[in-house]
């Protein structure tokens, strides 16, 4: 899978820089919008958990990224509503149940400006609830490629993508939920000269 992804990226005139952890273990390199107690980092696992008031909380990197590949694993059980923000709060790759559609939209893009999921990923035979799922998200310009457990499930071109910004993770408001992330690494994409 990595060989295929690397070959596809090379064809676009970009190459992967070396991977680096997305977050420091002490979370000193993040900004939290919402209750900070929603986020903990213990033994290499980042946990996003709702608080009793069910307020939402978004964790953002202080670093900004242009083109990048984000790799990692997530795990959850039950009804959750989470996701990965790509450079801004407007474009998100969903993890879990869509509050508006009331069904699992994992790996599908949610575009805040339209309030819609313009394309739906088919993950029903790939997503393992209660177990670790590997994911890869590549954001190159306004194109998003998403893989789940080794299979590409989404290729979407966004009309609302921004050129550069942080990466965010979400605990959605109004939902009692817990999601875990581990092995989060980001590989900036650099131009081949």
Cα–Cα distance, 105 to 107 (Å, whole number): 6
State the pairing for strand pair 30-33/133-140: unpaired
pLDDT over threshold 50, residue 9? no
Least Cα distance to 127 among 178, 73, 167 occurs for 73
Domains of the chain, start order: 2-191 (2.60.120.560)
Q: Which residues of 79-111 are buried (b: 16+ CB within 10 A; e: fewer)?
A: ebbbbbbbbbebbbbbbbbbeeeeebbbbbbbb
Per the DSSP assignment, residues forming a β-bridge with 86 are: 167
Average pLDDT of 134-153?
A: 98
pLDDT of residue 7: 42
Q: What is the value of pTM for the model shown?
A: 0.89
Q: Sign of torsion, CA 164 98 155 19? A: positive
Per the DSSP assignment, residues forming a β-bridge with 49 are: 178
Q: What is the pLDDT of residues 27-59, one digit of tens each?
A: 999 999 999 999 999 999 999 999 999 999 999
- What beta strand segments (E) does the chain contain? 14-16, 20-21, 30-33, 39-42, 45-49, 57-61, 68-76, 81-86, 91-96, 109-111, 133-140, 143-148, 151-157, 167-171, 178-191
pLDDT of residue 18: 85
pLDDT of residue 163: 97
The token pair at 104 is: 């699992």
Average pLDDT in the chain: 92
pLDDT over threshold 70, residue 11? no
């Amino acid at each position: 899978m990595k060989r295929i992804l690397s070959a596809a990226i090379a064809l676009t005139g970009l190459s992967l820089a070396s991977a680096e952890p997305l977050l420091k273990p002490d979370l000193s390199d993040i900004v939290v919008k919402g209750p900070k107690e929603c986020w903990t980092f213990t033994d290499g696992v980042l946990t996003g958990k709702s608080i009793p008031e069910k307020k939402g909380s978004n964790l953002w990197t202080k670093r900004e990224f242009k083109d990048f590949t984000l790799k990692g694993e997530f795990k959850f059980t039950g009804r959750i509503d989470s996701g990965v923000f790509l450079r801004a709060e407007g474009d998100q790759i969903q993890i879990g149940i869509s509050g508006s559609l009331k069904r699992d939209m994992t790996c599908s893009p949610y575009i805040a400006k339209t309030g819609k999921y313009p394309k739906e990923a088919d993950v029903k035979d790939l997503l393992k609830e209660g177990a670790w799922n590997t994911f890869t998200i590549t954001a190159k310009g306004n194109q998003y490629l998403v893989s789940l457990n080794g299979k590409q499930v989404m290729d979407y071109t966004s009309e609302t993508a921004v050129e550069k910004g942080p990466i965010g993770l979400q605990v959605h408001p109004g939902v009692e939920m817990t999601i875990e992330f581990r092995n989060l690494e980001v590989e900036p994409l650099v131009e081949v000269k």
